[in-house]
Amino acid sequence: NAGVTQTPKFQVLKTGQSMTLQCAQDMNHEYMSWYRQDPGMGLRLIHYSVGAGITDQGEVPNGYNVSRSTTEDFPLRLLSAAPSQTSVYFCASSVAGGPIDTQYFGPGTRLTVL
Amino acid sequence: AQRVTQPEKLLSVFKGAPVELKCNYSYSGSPELFWYVQYSRQRLQLLLRHISRESIKGFTADLNKGETSFHLKKPFAQEEDSAMYYCAPPDSGTYKYIFGTGTRLKVLA
């Protein structure tokens, strides 16, 4: 049982490039989410999904796209990277996204945009 | 929308001293609050949650509805407690989880 996995661990992009951060979970969780972690800002929710085919915006969605075609996978796409997107990105999942559900986090992806 | 405030960015204490990490939230109902911890080079993980009324690694957290606080406490800090701590309630009526800005705890030898 691998839990929540993320790839890559590190990535350097040039401004304007696009890329996809991968996230997968093997716990059959319905709820998945993406956060970015910035110094002094804590964790901020980018997008989330309550099940396959359903996604919604979080606190800071601009510049990011998501899709949820399967229960297991929840990729995050950066269409045109900007230096402001330099951050550490965490994917998380929980059983159903309810108020008492524990969230399980991936190891993170450290992204630098030059 | 739910808001959560962790007023201290950095908290340094000596080993064996009591620790209190503050968390204040804005919500008039009965929120389910969590504390998550991130040790160096590790992923975020649940430390404890209000609904369980549990003590994990010597930490406890009491929900004070009058003060809208959910402070994390430990009577005697250990060096291995050094980490980043996040207070997190789910947003009322939505599937969004709101995290505080975090408090970095440093326990000095």
- Residue B51: φ, ψ to 5°: -65, -25
Q: Does the beta-carbon distance from B32 to A100 stay under 8 Å?
A: yes
The DSSP call for residue A70 is: S
Give chain A's radius of gyration (CA, Å). Answer: 13
Q: Average pLDDT of A1-30?
A: 95
Residue B25 scores a pLDDT above 90: no
**pLDDT given for residue B4 in this prediction:** 86
- For chain A, strand residue ranges (E) read 4-7, 10-13, 19-25, 31-38, 42-51, 54-57, 64-66, 76-78, 87-94, 104-105, 109-113
Instruction: State how far the Cα of B8 lies from the Cα of B21, in Å rounded to an integer.
Output: 8
Residue B30 scores a pLDDT above 70: no
**pLDDT given for residue A82 in this prediction:** 97
Chain A environment of B97 (Cβ under 8 Å): 33, 45, 103
Average pLDDT, chain B: 87
Q: What is the pLDDT of residues B46-90, one digit of tens each?
A: 998 877 777 889 999 888 878 788 899 999 999 999 999 999 876
Q: Does A50 touch chain B (CB under 8 A)?
A: yes
Residue percentage of chain B with pLDDT more than 90: 53
Q: Does the beta-carbon distance from A90 to B97 stay under 8 Å?
A: no
Q: What is the pLDDT of residues A43-87, one digit of tens each?
A: 999 999 999 999 999 999 999 999 999 999 999 999 999 999 999
Q: Which of A32-36, B33-37, B72-76 has the lowest mean pLDDT?
A: B33-37
Dihedral sign for Cα atoms in the order A89, A47, B49, A73: negative
Q: Does the beta-carbon distance from A43 to B86 stay under 8 Å?
A: yes
Q: Does the beta-carbon distance from B100 to A56 stay under 8 Å?
A: no
- Nearest residue on chain A to B8, alpha-carbon basis: A40
Chain B environment of A41 (Cβ under 8 Å): 101
Residue B92 scores a pLDDT above 70: no
With vertex at residue A47, the alpha carbon angle to CA A103 and CA A28, rounded to the nearest 5 degrees, is: 45
Q: Which residues pair with B25 in a beta bridge?
A: B4
Residue-wise burial string across A77-87, b where 16 or more C-beta atoms lie within 10 A, e elsewhere: ebeebeeebbb
Residue percentage of chain B with pLDDT more than 70: 90
The owner of tokens 């059983």 is A95
CB A92 within 8 A of CB A39: no
**Nearest CB to B100; choose among A42, A58, A102:** A42
Q: Average pLDDT of B24-29?
A: 73
Alpha carbon of A15: minimum distance to chain B alpha carbons (Å)? 27
Chain A environment of B99 (Cβ under 8 Å): 35, 42-45
Which pLDDT band holds residue B31 (cuts at 50, 70, 90)?
low
Higher-pLDDT residue of A93, B41: A93
Least Cα distance to B105 among B23, B2, B24 occurs for B23
Average pLDDT, chain A: 94
With vertex at residue B35, the alpha carbon angle to CA B32 and CA B18, rounded to the nearest 5 degrees, is: 125
Q: Does the beta-carbon distance from B90 to A107 stay under 8 Å?
A: no
Residue of A30, A43, A68 for testing the chain B interface, max B β-carbons within 10 Å: A43
Instruction: State how far the Cα of B18 lies from the Cα of B23, in Å rounded to an integer.
Output: 16
**pLDDT given for residue A53 in this prediction:** 95
